[in-house]
Homo-oligomer: A and B are copies of this chain.
Amino acid sequence: MKTISTDKSHGGTQGVYVSRSDACGCDMTFAVFVPPQAAKGNCPVLWYLSGLTCTHANVMDKGEYRRLAAELGVIVICPDTSPRGEHVPDEPDNWQFGKGAGFYVDATQPPFSANYRMYSYIVDELPRLLAAEFPVDMDRQAIFGHSMGGHGAITIALKNPDRFRSCSAFAPISHPSVSGWSKPAFRKYLGADEKTWRAYDACSLIEDGHHFPELLVDQGTADSFLEDGLRPGELKQACEAAGIKLQLRMQDGYGHSYFFISTFMEDHLRWHAQRLGDRK
């Protein structure tokens, strides 16, 4: 692991790091905020997964999470959204596929399967690195994200319910295997057999019996991706049918950007901090 930068902020340290990823076959950059409480002992970990077109930097710059993370004593991890590098296959003119659009899946289709393994990177590889390099209490983890990253957070929590004490999302892509936004990407990463897509689709996972006790979702009513891309109503139906306690808050007049996310960042951080609570 190589340190790209560290900056003092809100009493803690905002760092940016790069490490070789075996899962993705490339160097991967990520951001870690370590609050001042880490000087006294390991801190709980909150994962933030970003949306389409983002790197680690968007939420680091615009997410306004450091003030609360420093107050609450939470380490915030912000990974990249896809593999990177000249050797990584891409569709440069398509912002919904390839670089910046890894969709947190392990691709099975060549040529993408060599690098687009963001699920394994986030779930297996990066946690090992963090546990070795940062003052993290890996028994206390939570996960949240925005849009494609909200999809990532919810699907990863559903598949790893014992690892995460809480999960929330801003405007998540709730049903990616049916929305026009993500369906073409799923086809290219995972192949034509749509049954295989269910392993990376929040609504399908819930239908197939995966469970998480509760979810908090904020969704702006002025979000232009609401109807086709995001589909919170379908998540609500799936959660109701499965007995998952979903708190879906429709936020009047808010859009899809970080102006929306930063507004409700404090609520999400407090919600996670309550559930991260004490050490085991």
A: which residues have CB within 8 A of B? 7-11, 14, 61-62, 64, 66-67, 220, 222, 253-255, 257-260, 262-263, 266
Contacts and interface: CB of A to CB of B under 8 A. Distances in A.
Nearest to A11: B263
Q: Report how many copies the assembly holds.
A: 2
B259 A7 contact: yes
Contact of A61 (B10, B62, B255, B263): B62
Contacts of A258: 61
A121 B222 CA distance: 34
A257 B66 contact: no
Given A62-B61, A67-B64, A253 B8 contact: yes
B62 A259 contact: no
Given A8-B259, A9-B260, A61-B62, 4 more contacts: A9-B254, A9-B263, A61-B258, A67-B262
Contacts of A7: 255, 257, 259-260
- Nearest 3 Cβ contacts at the A-B interface: A9-B259, A7-B259, A8-B253
A258 B257 CA distance: 20
B8 A255 contact: yes
B8 A260 contact: yes
B263 A10 contact: yes
Contacts of A255: 7-8
Contacts of A266: 67
Nearest to A251: B8
B222 A262 contact: no
A223 to B, nearest CB: 11
A66 B262 contact: yes
A64 B64 contact: yes
9 contacts: A8-B220, A8-B255, A9-B259, A9-B260, A61-B62, A61-B258, A64-B64, A64-B262, A67-B262
